[in-house]
Chain A
């Protein structure tokens, strides 16, 4: 035996590598015309990994206190070699992660991939999506600029509006009655320790379930899947994933270099909110809804609590879809749920357009659809067998 063979067999005995190799060799991915959607989850994972690595790098220079936070981010942007790049990548990748997580969620919803036996995969996915939003919200405060300050004031006050537990949650989130240095410490803790720990658990469960249950095949593509030879996960599909990731890295680097993320002005606790202040794009539909609700009270509950509680219930409802959509569970089809999903999505797009006073959000939706079509063409795979 050569040295190499010796090393390999030594490792095999200790790491159960043959089992892993066998599993990897058996895993296949079905081929059909919707398979472009199989890449979205992996793409979200890629941006998450970018977030973890750039986030750890930013931690080396960041100071989580009201006195130093803004200056330390300024230092990262202006003095630390490539600091501007790392911070911009972190910000851009955060946005792209939310975007791809949402696309992934939509594709799973419309292809009904949540139907049995994948209910828990769906629930863990929705939890991961909410965790990503929590990452976005907590990370937003860290540069301690004007936008961060007001976004956090409003966001935490929203939690305080919820009847019952609201006031406790508000003080718990803020670390006191007001948004202050104590809030920054807490949000930093959430952003770099608590949320990553929770996310890790859910991510492991989510990925393990995807491996165990295999890829879901939409009802409309079942015949096609039977006709076509599935592609091996390793190395074929993994390489396809990888080429997508390399493409994404290129896009990310270009965005970060050409459109570096702004820092804005340092938070001033005694300055009015500036004109046209608005949260990140993924919160704009909620922000716009809150703007449209008039002031008033009914039975001691303020009107603004109504949309806030409804958004919370909406999240819960989203999680329970696999158990409510019986049609999809039986036949794999449930047109009314699809129509409902389209109506909700359209509502979100309209609200976002209103929030920006512009049609750009609509163009983004159109552009995304075109890009998905192009990628569906690129990744369509070998010709169907027997044609």
Chain B
């Protein structure tokens, strides 16, 4: 009984209440702060297909590629052969840069860290860990339409 009274006297009880209420106070401040500084998820209008370009687009003819807005995502449309177009996510799988197209090699290339992909989007050299996500390409009366694969 004495041992119990020693270990659980009034002062310790009061300290325990003070300590936990201080902890609760702290938590009630920290929790909303953490939630506030974490950006909320904003719903984005989902895009399923975009009209990327016309087949006679000067950019495509000259440089062989074009970066297209697919919702908020950049998509790279490349002219693989005279009549074949391909589209991939333009976001490098390494560290998020936007890739470009090297006509002379030809390959898809990232200027940031030298990541290289072949014309099927496969990562073939440099640091990228994964291939580029492919998109579907259809030509509807001279209009190149890119849609989710």
Q: Which A residues are closer than 8 A to B by beta carbons?
A: 150, 153-154, 156-158, 161, 168, 171-172, 174-176, 178, 182, 269-277, 287, 290-297, 302-304
Contact = CB atoms under 8 A, between A and B. Distances in A.
Contact of A273 (B37, B97, B130): B97
8 contacts: A176-B42, A178-B72, A270-B98, A273-B99, A277-B97, A294-B126, A294-B127, A296-B129
A341 B42 CA distance: 47
B37 A291 contact: no
B38 A273 contact: no
Contact of B110 (A168, A182, A273): A273
Given A171-B39, A172-B38, A295-B129, A273 B94 contact: no
Contact of B129 (A154, A158, A276, A303): A303
Contacts of A153: 95-97
A271 B38 CA distance: 28
Interface residues of B, number: 31
Nearest to B74: A270
B39 A175 contact: yes
Contacts of B115: 295
Nearest to B115: A295
A268 to B, nearest CB: 9
B96 A304 contact: no
Interface string B33-61: 00001110010000000000000000000
Contacts of B74: 269-270
Given A291-B114, A302-B129, A271 B98 contact: yes
A71 to B, nearest CB: 22
Given A291-B127, A295-B130, A297-B129, A150 B94 contact: no
B28 to A, nearest CB: 21
A304 B97 contact: no
A295 B100 contact: no
B67 interface: yes
Contacts of B39: 171-172, 174-176, 182
A172 B37 contact: yes
B69 interface: yes
B127 A304 contact: yes
Most buried by A among B94, B110, B114: B94
A275 B123 CA distance: 19
Given A290-B113, A293-B127, A304-B94, A272 B100 contact: yes
